[in-house]
Amino acid sequence: MTILLTYLLSFTHETTVEEALILAVPLCIFYAFVCQSAQYSCRALPPERVGLDKLGLIHAGAAAMAGALWVFSAMVLAWILSSSINALRGLSDRLHAGPELPIIFVTGFLVYLLSTLGYYVQIALEASRDAEARLMRMSILAREAELKALKAQVNPHFLFNSLNSISALTSSDPAKAREMCILLGDFLRRTLGLGEKSTIPLDEEMSLIHAFLAVEKTRYGARLQMEETIAKDALAVDVPPLLLQPLVENAISHGIANLVDGGWIRLNVGCDNGNVSIVLENLFDPEAPARRRNGVGLANVRQRLQARYGNRASFLAKAEGDRFRVSIVVPSGEATSKEATAS
Amino acid sequence: MSPDPNGRIRVAIVDDEDLARQVLREYLSSHPEIEIVAECANGFEAVKAVAELKPDLVFLDIQMPKLDGFEVLELIGNDTAVVFITAHDNFAIRAFEVHATDYLLKPVSAARFEAALQRAKERLEGKSPAAAVAPAELAAAARPASQHVDRIPVRDGARVSIIPVAKLDYVEAQDDYVALVSEGKKHLKQQTIASLEAALDPSRFMRVHRSYIVNLERVAKIEPYSKDSHVAVLTTGAQLPVSRAGYARLREFLDR
């Protein structure tokens, strides 16, 4: 830029190359700072919120002011130089006489506009980098929630209690003990296979729940009653694996387990308008002693739905009197995690 | 805690799962000196059975309906040896390694069960000292520091009542007991006022005097009583003495 200005100023022959250089170097250093102010106006005026015409007008005005400031500083500099250094005497007058000042103004105007443009490009680049990082973070979070769900899956409490039941049955009812071993094995095998899948048909999730309930039924006996009403079309819909099983487990450990005489769990699945709506309701004792791990299962399901479907899915958990209800709506179409990451 | 003259040990089994009780029953059946006097499926039954039948030893599950194992322990006093049984509870293990007679993990092995029974027998024969601390103090020690109770179980004979802390007006220390005043009734509980204070949420309850904790929502006004002391008048009309330090704390709270 210094070279350009030196060339432009000496081109007019009013000033020599040396004189032009002496003027141009400090002026350009000064102007470099002036142009940086464009950064602030760029950040304050994002093009997507301010109209393009208005934006052009504002920046042209700013550029004209910057150019005028530059002309003024050139005049001041020339005056100082010509009055203090003998060899440069008359520089100020020659500057005023020739076309140098308009040249300085036009150059300043254009350079300021260019730097404005440069800053917009820089801001856009930063924003896209940010968006990329955010997307990455989101998908990591989603993945983490999925992994957590899978890890939390085989709840140690469930496993140890089941083993204890088996150990009780070995002497009193060996056949039943064997049956429970098989049921537990069946459930564990089903959960192990889920790690690689991003969605499974609801049908498969239901089989998992049935395997789980079969084991819990041995422990709780008549205290545990499950009622299901599931629309036929819903069974083929793809859902994230372990969407419902943690909710059923929650209903047992925070609901049924605290009731002396047990109680029911009701699952209702309906299908309409491209959505699957799931309602899981259970009885619970509002005065039961608090248990740890409370709500971890619920929070995890909520996070996974949020990460995968955003606001196309809804999750609502609510206690009403002695009933606890979880209502979920998920899109039944080809709603995959790919779609979520692309948007 | 003297053993029965015939060397018999009276045992209660408390677990909400029938199969879990069955294992213990089976393990105990090989010991002719053991008599199972009660089997309970929830906390209320357990407290009632212990109060009425006074067993020497209780096998106690932790997660149960009505009252959990910790709350049961709080209420049954320390004349009874307690062996905890839990599926997976690091927290209970940590707390009761020191205090409870023993703890067992499910699934319970026969060898481990025998060891626990042996330990309980030694304790009953007075070879190893009983915990010197009141059970309520143990339960308080077992609670994580950040967690405050939202209900307090109390026992009157075999009857258990549960006082939600929102309905607790104030607490008064009486020797080894605390009197909990709620809805016009006074409930006595064997616990120190300091450990109760630690269990209650400090943003809702304040120790205003050596012997008094007050529910801050119930404080209607504070009046001077003598040169250095005040009384707090509650919305229920009760008047509680407020010490100088208690007054400073109350003022600080009311000014905030």
B68 interaction partners in chain A (CB closer than 8 Å): 289, 291
pLDDT of residue A291: 61
Banded pLDDT at B143 (limits 50, 70, 90) = low
Contacts of B161 (CB under 8 A, 6+ apart): B153, B154, B155, B187
**Residues B47, B159 within the same domain:** no
Q: Is this complex scored with an ipTM above 0.90?
A: no
- Short-list A179, A259, A167, A161, CA closest to B22: A167
- Domain assignment of residue B126, yes or no: yes
**Residues B15, B44 within the same domain:** yes
Residues of chain A with pLDDT under 70: 1-2, 8-14, 148-153, 195, 290-295, 334-343
Q: Which candidate in A154, A159, A164 is best for mutational testing of the B interface (most B CBs within 10 A)?
A: A164
Q: Which candidate in B13, B17, B18, B19 is best for mutational testing of the A interface (most A CBs within 10 A)?
A: B19
**Residues B15, B134 within the same domain:** yes
**Residues B164, B229 within the same domain:** yes
pLDDT of residue A335: 43
The identity of residue A56, as a single letter, is G
pLDDT of residue B21: 94
Domain residues for the domain of B201 are: 148-254
- Domain assignment of residue B1, yes or no: no
Q: Which long-range contacts (CB under 8 A, 24 or more apart) does B125-130 make?
A: B125/B3, B126/B1, B126/B2, B130/B1, B130/B78, B130/B81
Q: Which residue bears the tokens 């009622």?
A: A227
Report CB contact under 8 Å: B26, A168: yes
B19 Cβ under 8 Å from any chain A Cβ: yes
Q: Among residues B139, B171, B193, which one ends one of the domains?
A: B139
- Split into its structural domains, chain B has a count of 2
Banded pLDDT at B67 (limits 50, 70, 90) = confident
Q: Round to whole Å and give the CA distance between A266 and A282.
A: 6
- Domain assignment of residue B4, yes or no: no
pLDDT of residue B54: 92
Q: Among residues B113, B139, B165, which one ends one of the domains?
A: B139
pLDDT of residue A342: 39
CA atoms within 13 A on the CB side of A4: 9
A164 interaction partners in chain B (CB closer than 8 Å): 17, 19-20, 23, 87, 106-108
Q: Domain containing B57 — which CATH number?
A: 3.40.50.2300
Q: Which residue bears the tokens 């007054």?
A: B247
Q: In sequence order, what E strands does chain A have?
A: 200-201, 224-230, 238-239, 263-272, 275-283, 314-320, 323-331
Q: Round to whole Å and give the CA distance between A77 and A289.
A: 83
Question: Chain B residue with minimal CA distance to A261?
Answer: B65
Contacts of B214 (CB under 8 A, 6+ apart): B169, B170, B171, B205, B206, B208, B232, B234, B240
Q: Among residues B114, B139, B164, which one ends one of the domains?
A: B139
**Residues B135, B154 within the same domain:** no
Question: Chain B residue with minimal CA distance to A159?
Answer: B87
Q: Round to whole Å and give the CA distance between B39 and B12.
A: 6
pLDDT of residue A341: 40
Residue B160 dihedral angles phi and psi, to the nearest 5°: -110, 130
**Residues B131, B59 within the same domain:** yes
Query: In terms of pLDDT, which residue wins out, B146 or A42?
Result: A42
Kind and range of the H or E run holding B137: helix B135-142
